[in-house]
Amino acid sequence: MNIKIAPSLFAANHADLTGEIKKIDGAEYIHVDVMDGHFVPNFGIAPHIIKAIRPLTQQVLDVHLMITEPVRYVDVFCDAGADIVTVHVEADTQENIHAALDKILAKGKKAGVVVKPNTPAEAILPFVDKCSMVLVMTVEPGFGGQKFMEHMMPKVTAIRALLDKHNPTCELEVDGGVDLNTAVTCVKAGANVLVAGSSVYKAEVPAECIQQMRKLGQEAAK
Ligand code: DX5
Ligand code: ZN
């Protein structure tokens, strides 16, 4: 399995995003956390910031929308330069989540769904055909630097089985508390994209942390 690393810009120094993006240029994806102060009790990265960083990198911008009724704003994030846009299944009705995914796909972007810790694996099923990515939260969304929830691993394994059956090329991403140790746990459970905020940006040399995480992940995937 191809293991990809998605450092989370949320953990970067936002006074120097240009420098912070250079530090992670060895990663496949850049994870961008969007929050609205409503779906989660915090604020994240706004569309104009995404627009500003878009010309700085060729890397895939993996935009994680932690916002209520994402159908209202998915177009804005696609136009700002997102490559992948993921929406929470808990953020609206099933019909409106479908509408959000359809809008993302109509923009020629990749779409995905996210599940919070208390949401079961089966919640992805209505949307699985439209997804290039499923994201499993391994912390409650809203804040970086939280403790990894190891008890999410059976759900990761269950979702991997659902994807094998219904959409085998769909990627499976984990987000929250992922470091060099928990990355291995996640890959063994079935994840192939690892979001890492604090562990990458607090590392002495972020580029080395990214490389090491990918290497450990690839070994664990064998
Ligand atoms: C949490 C965000 C995460 C966060 C991860 O709501 O979705 O992407 O930035 O940060 P760490 O890796 O520090 O847990
Ligand atoms: Zn995230």
CATH number of residue 50's parent domain: 3.20.20.70
pLDDT of 1: 77
- CB pairs under 8 A, 24+ apart, for 13-17? 13/201, 17/49, 17/52, 17/53, 17/56
Tokens of 199: 């562990």
| Whole-number Å distance between alpha carbons of 128 and 10 | 27
* Residue reference for tokens 């704003």: 73
- Which domain does 139 fall in, by range? 4-221
CA gyration radius for the chain? 16
| Domain count across the chain | 1
- The number of the ligand 1 atom at minimal distance from the alpha carbon of 140 is 6
| DSSP three-state, residue 185 | helix
**Distances in Å between the alpha carbon of 23 and those of 17, 34, 87?**
10, 21, 27
Q: 33: CA distance to ligand 2 center in Å?
A: 5
Q: What is the pTM of this model?
A: 0.98
The catalytic site residues sit at 33, 175
- The number of the ligand 1 atom at minimal distance from the alpha carbon of 179 is 12
Block means of pLDDT (10 residues each) for the chain, 222 residues, are 96 98 98 98 98 98 99 98 99 98 99 99 98 99 98 98 98 98 98 98 98 98 94
